[in-house]
Amino acid sequence: MAVVTFVSHDGETHAASLEEGQSLMQVATNNAVPGIDGDCGGEAACGTCHVIVDPRWSDRVGPSGADEEQMLAMNPEREPTSRLSCQMVVSEAWDGLTVRLPEFQM
């Protein structure tokens, strides 16, 4: 089973198994990963599911979309590989993916 690892700001890790077709935000909330709120339910409206993708994975998971980019643009914790996890539809091929969480969500 494909597994993704969420690393909290203070270094704690949470592994969660992926279900193809879900968003990475759903994977996090269904697995009680702390630090991912997903307040708007996946509409890219709130910015509370910010993750920073391990740069080695950024090509495979792809870049942010236009709306997502605007939501991230004003975020002080934004990094080059930042994404809103609600906009990332997961695939079994993402087995081993690691993402970091920012200190604060929006």
Q: Which residues of the chain form contacts with other proteins (CB under 8 A)?
A: 26, 29-32, 34, 37, 39-47, 66-67, 69-71, 73-75, 106
Cβ 72 to other proteins, closest distance in Å?
Answer: 8
Q: Which residue's structure tokens are 């935000």? A: 25
Output the smallest distance, CB 29 to other proteins, in A.
Answer: 6
Q: Which is nearer to other proteins, 53 or 71 (CB)?
A: 71
Nearest to 86, CA basis, from 16, 33, 54, 39: 39
> Smallest gap, in angstroms, from Cβ of residue 70 to other proteins?
4
User: Between β-strands 3-7 and 13-17, what pairing exists: parallel, antiparallel or unpaired?
Assistant: antiparallel
- Minimum Å distance from CB 7 to other proteins? 17
Q: How far apart are CA 106 and CA 66, in angstroms?
A: 18
Closer of 43 and 92 to other proteins (Cβ): 43
The neighbouring-strand residues paired with 77 are none
- Of 55 and 65, the one with the shorter C-beta distance to other proteins is 65
- Rounded to 5 degrees, φ, ψ at 61 are -90, -15
Is the separation of the CB atoms in 97 and 16 below 8 Å?
A: no
- Minimum CB distance to other proteins smaller for 40 or for 57: 40
